[in-house]
Structure 1
């Protein structure tokens, strides 16, 4: 899921790839409300995961964001 999150943020949300690393905080990576909205939309459309934007933005780092999404995916499978 980490690869998916980084891909969505850098290719769909158009964030610069350099700062979007697993250990980066969402702020350091440039993840804003628009990026979170795009991520939520892609997760729902491509993966069938419905996760509120507030839940996604409550994580600290890119890696924690990916872990949260993966946990949600497993819980709803």
Structure 2
């Protein structure tokens, strides 16, 4: 899941691959709130789940995003 998140960040949001780790804060790589919302939509569509704005507000790192997605996919 981490690899997919990193791929989306690098290809869709032009985030340099070398700056992405599990502990990277979303606000470091997605500085615009619209990018964060778009990121949530893209990841939700990729995994066929709905990620609410409220859920996006609760995650801070890439690892948190992966955990959120994992729990939603498993449900």
- Same fold judged by TM-score > 0.5? yes
Give the structure-2-normalised TM-score: 0.76
1:38 matched to which residue of 2? 38
Q: What is the deviation of 1:49?
A: 1.0
Q: Is the Cα–Cα contact under 8 Å of residues 36 and 57 in structure 1 kept in the other structure?
A: no
**CA RMSD of the aligned region, Å?**
1.8
Q: Determine the C-alpha separation between the residues in 2 that align with 1:50 and 1:65.
A: 13
2:68 matched to which residue of 1? 68
1:26 matched to which residue of 2? 26
Question: In the alignment, is residue 5 of structure 1 matched against residue 10 of structure 2?
Answer: no
Unaligned runs of 5+ in 1: none
Secondary structure in structure 2 of the residue aligned to 1:18: helix
Q: Determine the C-alpha separation between the residues in 2 that align with 1:34 and 1:2.
A: 21
Unaligned runs of 5+ in 2: none
Give the structure-1-normalised TM-score: 0.75
- Relative to structure 1, the CA distance from residue 46 to residue 27 in structure 2 (aligned partners, 3 Å threshold; closer, same or farther) is closer
